[in-house]
Structure 1
Amino acid sequence: MRLSRLFTTAVAIGALLSVTACGSSDSSGSASAFGLNPPDMEAQSELGKTEGQVNLIAWAGYVEDGSNDPNADWVSTFEQRTGCKVNSKTAASSDEMVKLMKTGQYDAVSASGDASLRLIASGDAAPVNTDLVPNYEDVFIGLLNQDWNSVDGQSYGIPHGRGANLLMYNTKEVSPAPTSWSSVFDDSGPYKGRVTAYDSPIYIADAALYLRETQPGLGIDNPYALDEEQFEAAVALLKRQNANVGEYWSDYLKEVAAFKSGDSVIGTTWEVISRLAQSEGADVKAVLPEEGATGWSDTWMLSAKAKHPNCAYKWMNWIISPKVNAAVAEYYGEAPANVKACDVTSDPAFCDEYHATDESFWRDIDVWTTPIEQCLDGRTDVKCVPYSKWVQAWTEIKG
């Protein structure tokens, strides 16, 4: 098992169109009702002759050809079967992906939920004909026609995988075992200097999610749709938390090291990080708190300027085919998108450990989104705080 995404803090300021999805588990695909009106484009109606190559933008670990790890190669067989040579560019952040897609030099991208609707709104992503992707019919229902990958029922991508931002704690240092995010917010005092938090402006949504459950009077519905009062409440909570935070992490290796050494004893994490820490001897456990959690979902999106669309379609179908999707999920550390992938993972328990088939688990996960002024919860009587202000506030929060 290996975690390959080395996140850097996603600072999307001037380049932001600030449009993305609202991360609900409802399959309404109603993003346009909240101010998103993508350019009028039609999806490709049929596959043509493959063009001989495909240019991809991806997270590290998604497009492996054996050069990094001889046991991780799902590119070579694809090239042999399709005649499409794969050229890939690894991106370090969602903002970088958006900028690269705007160049028109790439055919597809593995966009996370904090980038996908920005690409749709700008016209950089094309609608996708899912009939041309046979393996799409086996994608988990919780990933189909979601607000981060579709608009008014029109798909703009092929789901790849998903993960949750969980609460990890040192089982010897933290007692009683935490069940709420209060342990890193309102009740974090006992762990002063040993609390850790994810280093990104999008972490403000974690505070908003907690406030949604603990301060209902604020009226928070979607943690990515915050009016000024709601936003200030979340920022104030994070400023109070800052006094107890020992480290904001973006490099998973540093978080593992901090929990092993005892410098950190409680904070936000990913499932794969907790398992890596356990395998290296750390006394840790990860849980989904009673308030739910934020999370991420990645989608393969087709460029509106794709020069090799037929090879791109072939790739999208290949990457979610059962054996390949299983291999990527285990290598990367995430829940796969294809139901049948769970039957062919090398570890029979993998999908259970990553909650792949547990849709009730994912209903408690609010997927990352980039906030916009048009409130994604449907309110029209107020303006919501856009992501550019989240970036500014994050600098203030960290001091």
Structure 2
Amino acid sequence: MRKKILTVSAMAAVAALAFSGCSSTEEPASGGGGDGVKIDAPDLPIQEKLGDYEGEVNIVAWAGYVEDAWTEKFTADTGCVVNRRVAGTSDEMVQLVRTGDYDLLSASGDASLRLIAGGDVQPLNLDLIPNFGDDIAEGIKQQTYDWINGKTYGIPLGRGANILQYDSSVVTETPTSWDITWETDSPYAGKVIAYDAPIYIADAALYLMAHEPDLGIKNPYALDEDQLAAAIDLLKKQNGIVSEYWSDASAQITSFTGGTSVVGTSWEVLRKFTEDDKFKGVVPEEGATGWADAWMMAAKSKNPNCAYAWMDYASSPEVDGAIAMNFGMAPANTAFCDLNDEAKAHCDDYHAKDEAYFKNVWFWTTPVETCLDGRTDVTCTNFQQWTDAWLTVKG
């Protein structure tokens, strides 16, 4: 068993990320182009140049993303004191940013489009963030969570796939399909763990994309009413074989280590926390959903120059890599992987440079009425409709 390189604070981080995530378009996880997705959003100005640092920056972040180990040097270099508030859910993060008291947030995919459409975050000038350059993984750039109407709204800081985890002492053959978690005749019925959040509807939609093509689903986050109904129907059937639903990371780990569950949705960091080689993880042939959080800047930021300085500092290989190791994810800045042997091992573990691994990963994104698959003849369902529908799944 290789040495575990995750810090203790990462456990708090994974618990916080239980409500986070990000996005994709019709080409999952590939680099964007053109103007990206077009949605109705306020036309906010882009800051053209940096001014004097204001002396502080106020950040809403997931646990583990803003720590003293790297904020102290930032303050010494810039004079910008970092004031951090940890958020427990994306809804809380959205509410806090709308108060006008915060400059930055580590936005997740179930919040990003809400913030952009609401005019709560501003488009960014990449010329003011030089560390977000050629070493940033191509598959994390210009995705639906940060590339809207031809403008960049977010600076991704890391990514991960929602893998199919399994106990190899029970599931003795490597799974190639998610079918063992969805079909009611699964040999592991009653031992299947599932994610407890409305965004999990996308996992059902992804499975239907491959197994019921007549539904016409092209993007698991772009569902019309009929497609959403089909996904909910599948989820209700799955409910009969589910051992438990998880949103708390420690509970998910306990479910596997205690034998309550032997197969189901997970993250690489959770699988590694088990410290047991019998727990394996794969991205099956249908692909997977995933997440890629991004720094976003509040439209009402009172400290925009310190905010830009933080985004640049946090995008450096050393700091972005430190965040990735602290949490347990692939860093956005792949130059980190070449810093030392420990960094290389982390990047190998989390597939940081493996674009083939992420090619079929659909990063979490906020469902909106504008169909993200490009359809214009129907209205797609939004996040509130997904939230309402999810409430019917578990009965």
Determine which of 191, 195, 206 is the counterpart of 2:192. Answer: 195
- Cα shift at 1:298: 0.9
Determine which of 6, 10, 14 is the counterpart of 1:5. Answer: 14
1:64 aligns to 2:67 (yes or no): yes
- Cα shift at 1:317: 0.7
- Cα shift at 1:6: 1.5
The aligned counterpart of 2:386 is: 390
1:46 aligns to 2:43 (yes or no): no
CA distance in 2, matches of 1:32, 1:208: 20
> For the structure 1 residues 371 and 304, does the alpha-carbon distance in structure 2 shift closer, same or farther, using more than 3 Å as the test?
same
Q: Which structure 2 segments of 5+ residues have no match?
A: 1-5
1:305-325, Cα deviation, whole Å (9 max, x unpaired): 111111111100111111111
Determine which of 90, 93, 96 is the counterpart of 1:94. Answer: 90
Larger CA deviation: 21-30 vs 352-361: 21-30
How does 1:173-322 map onto structure 2 within 5 Å?
A: 173-186=170-183, 189-277=186-274, 279=275, 281=276, 283-322=278-317
- Cα shift at 1:282: 6.3
1:56 counterpart letter in structure 2: I
The aligned counterpart of 1:338 is: 333
2:313 counterpart letter in structure 1: W
CA distance in 2, matches of 1:298, 1:200: 17
- Cα shift at 1:386: 1.7
CA distance in 2, matches of 1:135, 1:312: 14
2:99 counterpart letter in structure 1: T
1:208 counterpart letter in structure 2: A
CA distance in 1, matches of 2:343, 2:304: 34
Determine which of 113, 120, 124 is the counterpart of 1:117. Answer: 113
CA distance in 2, matches of 1:130, 1:88: 24
> For the structure 1 residues 273 and 188, does the alpha-carbon distance in structure 2 shift closer, same or farther, using more than 3 Å as the test?
farther
Larger CA deviation: 172-181 vs 296-305: 172-181
The aligned counterpart of 1:14 is: none
CA distance in 2, matches of 1:257, 1:188: 25
- Cα shift at 1:93: 1.3
Are the equivalent residues in 1 in contact too, given 2:182–2:238 (CA < 8 A)?
Answer: yes
- Cα shift at 1:228: 1.8
- Cα shift at 1:98: 1.0
Question: How many pairs are equivalent?
Answer: 381
- Cα shift at 1:359: 1.3
The aligned counterpart of 1:69 is: none
SS in 2 for 1:312: helix
Are the equivalent residues in 2 in contact too, given 1:21–1:117 (CA < 8 A)?
Answer: no
1:50-105, Cα deviation, whole Å (9 max, x unpaired): 0110000101000011xxxxxxx111111111111000111111111111111110
How does 1:99-110 map onto structure 2 within 5 Å?
A: 99-110=95-106
Are the equivalent residues in 1 in contact too, given 2:159–2:293 (CA < 8 A)?
Answer: yes
SS in 1 for 2:312: helix
Are the equivalent residues in 1 in contact too, given 2:159–2:331 (CA < 8 A)?
Answer: yes
The aligned counterpart of 1:357 is: 353
CA distance in 1, matches of 2:344, 2:24: 33
What TM-score results when the alignment is normalised by the length of structure 2? 0.92
CA distance in 1, matches of 2:176, 2:103: 43
What TM-score results when the alignment is normalised by the length of structure 1? 0.91
The aligned counterpart of 1:381 is: 377
Q: Sequence identity of aligned pairs in percent?
A: 50
SS in 1 for 2:297: strand
The aligned counterpart of 1:15 is: none
Are the equivalent residues in 2 in contact too, given 1:225–1:377 (CA < 8 A)?
Answer: yes
CA distance in 2, matches of 1:130, 1:373: 29
> For the structure 1 residues 9 and 392, does the alpha-carbon distance in structure 2 shift closer, same or farther, using more than 3 Å as the test?
farther
1:27 aligns to 2:32 (yes or no): yes
Are the equivalent residues in 1 in contact too, given 2:60–2:105 (CA < 8 A)?
Answer: yes
- Cα shift at 1:156: 1.1
1:5 counterpart letter in structure 2: V
The aligned counterpart of 2:159 is: 162
1:79 aligns to 2:79 (yes or no): no
Larger CA deviation: 89-98 vs 49-58: 89-98
1:264-321, Cα deviation, whole Å (9 max, x unpaired): 10000001111111x1x36210101110000111111111111111111110011111
Larger CA deviation: 339-348 vs 46-55: 339-348
> For the structure 1 residues 393 and 172, does the alpha-carbon distance in structure 2 shift closer, same or farther, using more than 3 Å as the test?
same
- Cα shift at 1:335: 0.6
CA distance in 1, matches of 2:41, 2:331: 28
1:140 counterpart letter in structure 2: A
Question: Cα RMSD over matched residues?
Answer: 1.9
CA distance in 1, matches of 2:237, 2:187: 14
- Cα shift at 1:129: 0.7
1:3-44, Cα deviation, whole Å (9 max, x unpaired): 313148759xxxxxxx986474250364553xx132122211
Are the equivalent residues in 2 in contact too, given 1:372–1:387 (CA < 8 A)?
Answer: yes
SS in 1 for 2:388: helix
The aligned counterpart of 1:70 is: none
1:211-248, Cα deviation, whole Å (9 max, x unpaired): 10111111100001111221111111111110111110
